[in-house]
Amino acid sequence: MGNKVCLVIVDGLRNDTARTDCGYLMSAVEAKQARIWTMQACLPTISAPLYETIHTGLKPADHGLLSNEAIRPSPHPNVFSVLKAAGKTTGVVGHSFFHTLYAGSDFNVFDHVEVNDPNAPISHARYYTMTGYNQANPTMPSEFDLCAQAWALARDYAPDYLLLHTSSCDTLGHFYTGEGREYRIQATHVDNALSQLIPRLRSSGYDVLVTADHGMNADGQHAGDEPCLREVPFIAFSDQIRVKNDALLDQRTIAPTILAMLDLPAPTTMNIPASL
Ligand SMILES: [Zn+2]
């Protein structure tokens, strides 16, 4: 117990795509450096509601954020607020939605693209927006840039909890569907970049968890209740998680699991046990 924890959210990565196209991650599973489970995402299978689920341990019907268009500062105890109260530090490389949810102010890209403030709700952050994304130029920023930024935060500040969130699989899935070659190839690009990040994090005392908020369907959409939307991978580079291989994990367990890995008690609102 007591390692630092990095959570990687690969936005929109289907469970089956992770298993067939993420050769680095699956090589780690085959070599017993990591384990993989199928996790069931909550409903609706929409990003902001599930970012909130992942960090509060509450399903959207309980935390109340049911649409990306309704995003607001989280009113619930969450991984970031619990760590802050315990005097621990956090870091984010991810979409600006995470600032809106957990950083205590409205997001302004010129004010918040880079945050280094030990007193802030999230101590160290590098945010991106989706401004300018389109089908002709769908994959910026580079996965290697994001992984390198995450590594720089870990190397320079060693936050106790580090979140890396990448949007490119979701973006390509919307453009080319969850069954298109462009979507699957992007999953391999993400996997390839993670092959450079995860060993560095492991060598620096991080346990690493890799998951998705939701999957992607054949229409290039997500929100509903199909296996390709609700089944996401949960991959752990950690000796702390010992649940059986064939267990179907509940997405609400991620928050209490991260806190348990950091030796922090879960708040009573997280009324689902950790997946340990
Ligand atoms: Zn999406």
- pLDDT tens digits, 39-91: 999 999 999 999 999 999 999 999 999 999 999 999 999 999 999 999 999 99
CA 130 to chain centroid: 17
Residue 1: which pLDDT band, with cuts at 50, 70 and 90? very low
Q: Is the pLDDT of residue 135 over 80?
A: no
CA of 51 relative to ligand 1 center, distance in Å: 12
Percentage above 70 pLDDT, the chain? 99
Q: How much is the mean pLDDT over the chain?
A: 96
CA of 167 relative to ligand 1 center, distance in Å: 8
CA of 215 relative to ligand 1 center, distance in Å: 9
Q: Is the pLDDT of residue 233 over 90?
A: yes
Q: Write down the residue that tokens 């693209």 correspond to.
A: 113
Q: ∠ at Cα 271 (266, 273), nearest 5°? A: 70
CA of 222 relative to ligand 1 center, distance in Å: 6
CA of 44 relative to ligand 1 center, distance in Å: 12
Element (H, E) at 233: strand 231-237
CA of 106 relative to ligand 1 center, distance in Å: 22
Element (H, E) at 235: strand 231-237
Residue 2: which pLDDT band, with cuts at 50, 70 and 90? low
Q: What is the model's pLDDT at position 161?
A: 98
Tens digits of per-residue pLDDT, 138-164? 766 789 999 999 999 999 999 999 999
Mention every residue, 6+ apart, whose C-beta is less than 8 A from residue 72: 65, 100, 101
CA of 223 relative to ligand 1 center, distance in Å: 9
CA of 42 relative to ligand 1 center, distance in Å: 15
CA of 268 relative to ligand 1 center, distance in Å: 31
CA of 203 relative to ligand 1 center, distance in Å: 33
CA of 174 relative to ligand 1 center, distance in Å: 6
CATH number for the segment(s) 4-261: 3.40.720.10
Region 182-202 average pLDDT: 98
My answer on whether omega of the bond before 141 falls inside 30° of 0, hence cis, is yes
Element (H, E) at 230: helix 227-230
User: Where are the chain's structural domains?
Assistant: 4-261
Element (H, E) at 38: strand 35-40
Question: Which residues fall inside 5 Å of ion ligand 1, going by CB?
Answer: 170
- CA gap 107, 109 in Å, rounded: 6
CA of 218 relative to ligand 1 center, distance in Å: 13
